Structure 1
Amino acid sequence: MMDIRKQLLQTHTKENTELIVAYIGNEQERFDTLMNLFLHDEYRVCQRAAWVVSEVAKLQPEIFTPYLAVIIKNLRTEGLSDSVKRNSLKVLQGLVIPKSLWGEAADICFGYLASKSEAIAVKCFSMTVLLNITYKVPELKGELQILIEDQMPYGSAGFKSRGKRTLKALQEIQ
């Protein structure tokens, strides 16, 4: 029986992350323990749990359904680490967000994308979450397009690459 919290604090490596992901498997109770650590524990534990959370999402996206609203709400937490934001958005970009959460998710992501101080990865994942919502709510297209175009000249290589792909995809939305 693994103590997930203790294992997270032991080391922050790919091997340790894979070990914890394998332990969680598709066990809802173990996943619930991980999510509790991710959402409510000390900064270091949340930060390390973030990587595990995003890896579990790749393998078991359906296990996240009960947590979508909580993950989105958690993104409003003051002082959230970049790793928690980045990995939460990474999870959200790969899942189907229910209609009832589109507004909240879009509001948070527009805030991140417009921020001058947000990390590039957070902005890029926000862009993709917003694009996915825009496919269902085309009225957001103009605002998203303007935000990306305004930042393109000053963006990093990663931002420009994601921005170009997103702008191209936006052209196809009616």
Structure 2
Amino acid sequence: MKLREQLLREHSRANCLKVVEWVGDSPVRFAELIELFLKDEYRVVQLAAWPISYVVESHPALIRKHLPKIIKNLERKDTHPAVRRNTIRLFQHIDIPEKYQGTVMNLCFEYVCDPTEKAALKAFSLTVLENLSKQYPEIKPELKTIIEERWDTETPAFRSRAKKIMKKL
């Protein structure tokens, strides 16, 4: 498969799953997908984001060596919303190494508090923060406060995820 051409073929779930199946558990193919995600033109980056999160959900070990680049990319302020959304989505499914936990935690808090961010990114961020609160129980009060403060101004998607998380906290 010519990965770049396949990504550009169409933006659909079926095409995403075709790419995910092709990558499988191959570190070489995953690295090729990551390369496009980090360095190609805007449209290719956007299209690569979705399959990356699905591959990581099935094969979380594949992301480990790419985490420094992925996090550095996430810290940029000009990343496409699809890149942020799918990067945070994949963090729901992995054990984030300790040296990156603070950065990921800070980014997730920023996303949850930003009124301009999309609901899906906020929902994924809430889940990542809830997962991290198991190791860092001291963030639970802050997470609860933010959820309570944002409750009336957020979308039903945010409130649905927040309600489940509040029960766990």
TM-score range, shorter chain: over 0.9
Q: Give the counterpart letter for 1:11 in structure 2.
A: E
Structure 1 residue 114 and structure 2 residue 113: aligned? yes
In the TM superposition, residue 26 of structure 1 has moved relative to its aligned partner by 1.4
Structure 1 residue 166 and structure 2 residue 152: aligned? no
Q: CA RMSD in A?
A: 1.1
In the TM superposition, residue 68 of structure 1 has moved relative to its aligned partner by 2.4
The answer for the alignment partner of 1:138 in structure 2 is 137
CA distance in 2, matches of 1:127, 1:10: 33
The answer for the alignment partner of 1:104 in structure 2 is 103
In the TM superposition, residue 69 of structure 1 has moved relative to its aligned partner by 2.9
- 1:85-96 equivalent positions in 2, closer than 5 A: 85-96=84-95
Q: Give the counterpart letter for 1:79 in structure 2.
A: D
* Sequence identity percentage: 38
Q: Please give the TM-score of this superposition, normalised by the length of structure 1.
A: 0.93
5+ residue gaps, structure 1, are none
CA distance in 2, matches of 1:25, 1:70: 21
The answer for the alignment partner of 1:15 in structure 2 is 14
Equivalent position SS for 2:82: helix
Structure 1 residue 45 and structure 2 residue 44: aligned? yes
The answer for the alignment partner of 1:56 in structure 2 is 55
- 1:1-12 equivalent positions in 2, closer than 5 A: 2-12=1-11
Shifted more, 62-71 versus 157-166: the winner is 62-71
CA distance in 2, matches of 1:40, 1:149: 39
Equivalent position SS for 1:136: coil
In the TM superposition, residue 153 of structure 1 has moved relative to its aligned partner by 1.4
- 1:145-156 equivalent positions in 2, closer than 5 A: 145-156=144-155
Q: What is the CA deviation profile of residues 81-120 of structure 1, one whole-angstrom value per residue up to 9, with x for unaligned ones?
A: 1111111111001111111111111111111111111111
CA distance in 2, matches of 1:15, 1:94: 22
5+ residue gaps, structure 2, are none
Q: Please give the TM-score of this superposition, normalised by the length of structure 2.
A: 0.95
Equivalent position SS for 1:80: coil
In the TM superposition, residue 163 of structure 1 has moved relative to its aligned partner by 0.7
CA distance in 2, matches of 1:18, 1:52: 7
In the TM superposition, residue 73 of structure 1 has moved relative to its aligned partner by 2.2
Equivalent position SS for 1:78: coil
Equivalent position SS for 2:134: helix
CA distance in 2, matches of 1:39, 1:21: 17
The answer for the alignment partner of 2:65 in structure 1 is 66
User: After the TM superposition, which segments of 4 or more aligned residues of structure 1 sit over 3 Å from their partners?
Assistant: none
Q: Give the counterpart letter for 2:165 in structure 1.
A: T
